[in-house]
Amino acid sequence: MPEVGIVNFDDDGNLHTNKVTVTAEELGVNCWVPARFLGGNCDRYYTCKYAEKANCHAGPSGIAREKAKHEELEEGEELRQDLICALCGEPIVPRDPGDRPYHGDTGTSYEGKPICDTCYDEDTCEPAATIYYGGDHDEPHLIGSCRNETEGDFRVKWHSTDPWRGYYECESGEYVEVFTDAILSGHESEEMLKNLYDRVLERFDEEDIGFARVFCRSSNVFFTSLEIWVRRDFVQLLKAHAIIAQAKGEVDYDNPLYSTGILFPRENLEKFKDLLGKRYNITTDKDLADLAAEKGGDLLAELVEAAKGR
């Protein structure tokens, strides 16, 4: 391959000639800034059209950073979007000349998009999901907006319920969800779910079932989803479902107590049931919420009429 001789001065003012080996394609790029070959800074770092093809080893100068930050571009110049952080929108400054930016990991909201060092390093401070493999309690694998420590086993999606609220949900091609519920801080179901969870984990270990525990975050700080996923294996899935069914019976999982006192105070739910009588089968908070969504204002009218008759 051809060599290029670069003549430059060192910090002491001595003249040096450095030879670098280049490919024919790199040699054809119309850029002869020494920093391209030797490292250093370039004023055109964020706008250069040839950098990738030239395998450029330069970093951004102070002028380049200021121009990119304030978008002070000359006519015909465009910022290289592969050097602008998709998360914070700031120009990406490499730690060392020639370094390439991070890109969002597979299975994240910013998959494949350029990410600056700061955003990538701090991404999992508030993870979208926390995954524990097997019975290991000490090594969580986190998924954030751009980092995925499960190596693609799991991916997350954000579901918006309104402009301000929503929740994250996990997906997987390697695992199948066999159990999901919500951990509600301070609710009676919290202790019941812990008992079920402990029993299931113990039995899974005994049966050598490959599983993962997934905790997804929501905009409600009092709510966290509890999910158990099992490797996509027919025999293991059959065992897992049988174990979970048995554990549910042991902890009285289907007791209506654990499905009330969530959306409405229990005394209010009892008042609604009393007013509506036997016209509707209302046992849980969800039953009443579904009925209200179905009937809308008609349900309110029924409640008013029922109250008048008391």
236-273 confidence digits (pLDDT tens): 999 999 999 999 999 888 877 666 545 556 666 667 66
Mean pLDDT over all residues of the chain?
80
Distance CA 144, CA 206 (A): 32
66-100 confidence digits (pLDDT tens): 878 877 777 777 888 888 899 998 899 888 777 78
Distances (CA, A) of 229 to 2, 77, 95, 169: 56, 50, 39, 13
Q: Check residues 214 and 297 and name the one with the higher pLDDT.
A: 214
Q: With 0-12 CB in 10 A as exposed, 13-18 as middle and 19+ as buried, what is 94?
A: middle
Distances (CA, A) of 230 to 15, 175, 212, 221: 65, 5, 6, 27
Q: With 0-12 CB in 10 A as exposed, 13-18 as middle and 19+ as buried, what is 45?
A: buried
- Place 274 in a pLDDT band, splitting at 50, 70 and 90: confident
CB atoms < 10 A from the CB of 250, how many?
10
- Place 55 in a pLDDT band, splitting at 50, 70 and 90: confident
CA gyration radius, the chain? 30
Q: With 0-12 CB in 10 A as exposed, 13-18 as middle and 19+ as buried, what is 22?
A: middle
What's residue 150's pLDDT?
95
pLDDT, mean of residues 47-75: 77
Q: What is the residue-wise DSSP string for 223-250?
A: EEEEEEEEES-HHHHHHHHHHHHHHHHH
- Place 275 in a pLDDT band, splitting at 50, 70 and 90: confident
Distances (CA, A) of 16 to 19, 22, 42, 66, 232: 10, 19, 20, 31, 62
CB atoms < 10 A from the CB of 89, how many?
10
What's residue 86's pLDDT?
93
Residue type, 77: E
Q: Residues, the chain, total? A: 310
- Place 123 in a pLDDT band, splitting at 50, 70 and 90: very high
Long-range contacts of 27-33 (CB under 8 A, 24+ apart): 27/2, 29/53, 29/54, 31/56, 33/58
What's residue 65's pLDDT?
83
Answer yes or no: are the C-beta atoms of 104 and 112 closer than 8 Å.
yes
Q: Token pair of 107, please?
A: 């299975």
Residues 6+ apart with CB under 8 A from 144: 108, 123, 124, 126, 127, 128
